[in-house]
Amino acid sequence: MARIVSTKPLSAAQREKLARFGDVACPPEGRRFSQAELFSALHDAVGLITFGTRVDETLLEQAPHLKVASTASVGYDHFDLAAMRRRRILGAHTPHVLDDTVADLGMALMLAVARRIVELDGYVRRGEWKKGDEEVLYGVDVHHRTLGIVGMGRIGRALAKRAKFGFSMNILYHARSRHDDVEQAFGARYATLSDLLQTSDFVVLLTPLTPETENLMNQDMFRLMKPSAIFINLSRGKTVDEDALVQALREGWIRGAGLDVYRQEPIPPHHPLLSLPNVVCVPHIGSATQATRTAMLDLAIDNLIAVLEGRPKDAYIVPELKDLAEEG
C-alpha cells in the first residue's frame, strides 16, 4: 500500500487530508522518528513531508517509490538536488507564507542590538542598575538611519516596507538585478555590495545559500562596514564566515550583530559568539509563530497533493527541478 511520510507530527485533519493517497506515517506528538523508523516508513512512500531532514542519496535509497519531497520551509539546502534529479523526484517548498513573520524578526533583531535590549535586561536582573548611570545605558537609533538589504526577495520587500514606513529609514539594496517596484514603492536605491556595506548603518543578509553566497560575508566584507554598523543574518549560517564575524565584533570593525542562523545548528554552547555582549542570538526562529508554521505545513501538504494528483504546476516546485514538473 502506498504511503505518505511526515517527519513531524500531523493533526488529525491533516492526516485525513492525505489519507486518500495511502497510509499516513508520522511520529506521535512530542517526538520524532529515529533514522531507523524513518527509513522503514519510507519503503512504500510516494510522498515525503519534511522539516529540514536531509533528503540525499542515503535517504532516497530507502524510498524507491518516492515521487515528491515537500519541505515546510522556504529554504531547501537540505535537498540533494542532483540525487533527486537522477531519480526524477520533485522537490517543493513554501515561499511567501513566512515573509511578514521573518521581516518582523529582522526588525526585532535590529532594535534589540541597537538598543542593547538583551544586554540591559541582564543588567537590570543582576541588580546593577543605579541612578546616575544613564550614559552607560545608551544605544543607537534605528529611525532615519540607512538600512542595507542584501537579497531583495519577498522577505526583503516586507522588511523594506517596515523600515521605510515604520521607521523612516533610507533603503539601499543589493541583488542580482535591479527591482523597479522596490525603488518606486520604498524609495530604495540599488547599490553594489561594497557600496552598500560602506554606507549602511544596518546590514541585513537575506540571500539564499548557493555556491556563490557561501562565506559571502568574510573578513574583507566586514572590514568595509562602518564601526557603528550593525549586522543581521536571516539567511543561512554558511553565508557568513563566523570566525571573521567574531573578529569584527571583538576588534570593533562593527558595533554589533543579530543572528538567527549559524553554520552549525544548534550552535555549540561554547561558541565565541555566545560570549560577546554585542551579539543577540536566537535559535533559527525566523518563521516560528504558531500561525505561520501552521500555514507552512498546510502549504507543504498542498504542494505534495498537487504533485500526486498530477498538477505539479500548482505546486511551489523548487526552481532547479521545475523542468521535471514541466516534462510531466
Catalytic residue among 37, 284, 293, 320: 284
Question: SS3 for 205?
Answer: strand
159 and 29 within one domain? no
Write the CATH number for 298.
Answer: 3.40.50.720
306 and 219 within one domain? no
68 and 161 within one domain? no
Minimal CA–CA distance to 248: which of 276, 274, 270? Answer: 276
Residue 262 domain boundaries: 98-281
225 and 188 within one domain? yes
284 catalytically annotated:
yes
193 and 224 within one domain? yes
115 and 130 within one domain? yes
229 and 141 within one domain? yes
Model confidence pLDDT, tens digit, residues 305-318: 999 999 999 999 99
Contact predicate 271/283, CB 8 Å: no
Phi, psi (degrees; rounded to nearest 5) at 163: -65, -40
How far is C-alpha 13 from the geometric centre of its chain's CA atoms? 27
265 catalytically annotated:
yes
Model confidence pLDDT, tens digit, residues 219-248: 999 999 999 999 999 999 999 999 999 999
User: What is the dihedral sign for C-alpha 277, 279, 282, 287?
Assistant: positive
Q: What is the mean pLDDT of the chain?
A: 97
Return the pLDDT at 300.
98
84 and 179 within one domain? no
Catalytic residue among 265, 309, 311, 326: 265
31 and 166 within one domain? no
245 and 119 within one domain? yes
Please tell me what DSSP assigns to residue 187. Answer: -
**26, three cell numbers:** 508520522
84 and 103 within one domain? no
Catalytic residue among 93, 157, 162, 236: 236
Model confidence pLDDT, tens digit, residues 142-153: 999 999 999 999
192 and 142 within one domain? yes
126 catalytically annotated:
no
Cis peptide bond N-terminal to 28, omega within 30: no
Task: Using a cut of 0.85, tell me whether the model's pTM lies above it.
Answer: yes
Contact predicate 117/111, CB 8 Å: yes
Contact predicate 280/231, CB 8 Å: no
Find cell 526562529 and name the residue: 285
Minimal CA–CA distance to 245: which of 272, 281, 268? Answer: 272
What's the number of domains the chain is made of? 2
Return the C-alpha torsion angle 148, 154, 159, 161, nearest 10.
Answer: 110
Phi, psi (degrees; rounded to nearest 5) at 147: -105, 125
